[in-house]
Amino acid sequence: MPFAQFQGSGDGTTRQFQIPFPYVKKDHIIVSLNQIANTNFVYINDTTIEFAPLNSVATNEQETTGAPKTGIEILISRETPLLNALVDFVDGSTLTASDLDTAVLQLLYGLQEAKDDTDAGINFTPVGLDASNNPIINVQDPTNPQDATTKSYVDDNIAGFLKTDGSVPMVGDFNAGGKKIKNVETATLDTDAVNLLQLNQGISTANTAQTAAAQSADQAEDYKDETKVFRDEAEGFKDSASASAITAVNLARRSIFVGFKKLSDGTLQMTYNEANDTTVYKAEDFVQNGGSHAYFLGEDVLSTTAPNAPKFSINSNGHLILELL
């Protein structure tokens, strides 16, 4: 435990703090907030100080009430001056207990503070020098490979370093020297590096898509072949329909049945309108229902309800029978 030091932490409310060690004069008490000297305090009594309210806005260390902010390190220490003696002995003078105590305490407190500084400063340990979590200041820039370096030196030469917090971008290629870069986070941006797992997943997805595309191409080729077959069949149907249409037209043009006509010998003659026959037959061209027994197809033969229309039938011998009524 230090002889002449008190360390505490601000809570944003507390303004008064105790001085837990003796001192010769109040001038020997030093107060700092986050390692910054602070004189904005008054003595409530010989063992208590109080931070005074600020005249302006809050600072990084104090609220406007003067209370150290939450988490701010408070250090109250004693620094007894050793340059000059606090008591000057004069021949023939009267020495009091207070004078003797002051003289002795100056030396005692000085030794105690030196011990505190030594304990709080750089200490020799089996593993190396220990700065007790305090900054080492006024360090010269390094010149030899094993010299300690300063923040200024690092900041001035940052282009040659790779900062792990990502605050400084690289200015050249990164040479890993044939070593692995481990624990790479899964990429989210287009410019992020990917890890092996993510790469394999991407390759697997690409292979699946490629297989599906090949299957789709094969299926499309099959559909193409089937379509060609359908097209060929359709062409055949088209040709057949065209031929049938031509045949029908030709048949219609060359063998249109007009009617029956009774000849002079008493026989019936089937009359057709040939393709090259421009004759237009009419009902009056035939004697209907008369002595000639001639019938016009358009009026009698095809009309099942016409009076005296002839009846057609096929006998057992396969002969066509025309029944005239």
For the chain, the distance separating the N- and C-terminal CA atoms, rounded to the nearest angstrom, is 148
**Alpha carbon 195 to its chain's center:** 16
Spatial separation of the C-alpha atoms in residues 266 and 264, rounded to whole Å: 5
What are the pLDDT digits (tens) for 17-76?
999 999 999 999 999 999 999 999 999 999 999 999 998 899 999 999 999 999 999 999
Please tell me the pTM assigned to this model: 0.45
Q: How many domains does the chain have?
A: 3
Verify that 206 and 103 share a domain, yes or no: no
| pLDDT per position as a tens digit, 171-210 | 777 777 888 888 888 888 888 888 888 889 889 998 898 9
* Residue 60 sits in the same domain as residue 18: yes
What are the φ/ψ torsions at residue 28 (nearest 5 degrees)? Answer: -85, -5
In a domain, 147, yes or no: no
Confidence band for 125, pLDDT divided at 50, 70 and 90: confident
Under 8 Å CB-to-CB from 65, ≥6 apart: which residues? Answer: 13, 15, 53, 54
Residue ending a domain, among 211, 230, 252, is 252
pLDDT reading at 101 higher than 90: yes
Average pLDDT across the chain, whole number = 81
pLDDT at site 27: 95
Host domain of residue 243: 193-252
Which one of 252, 269, 302 terminates a domain? 252
232 lies in the same domain as 116: no
- Same-domain pairing of 220 and 269: no
Q: Which of 110, 130, 150 is the last residue of a domain?
A: 130
62 contacts 68 by C-beta, under 8 angstroms: yes
Q: What is the DSSP letter of 139?
A: P
Same domain, 123 and 22: yes
Number of H helices, E strands in the chain: 3, 14
Q: Indicate whether 42 and 74 sit together in one domain.
A: yes
Instruction: Indicate whether 204 and 298 sit together in one domain.
Output: no
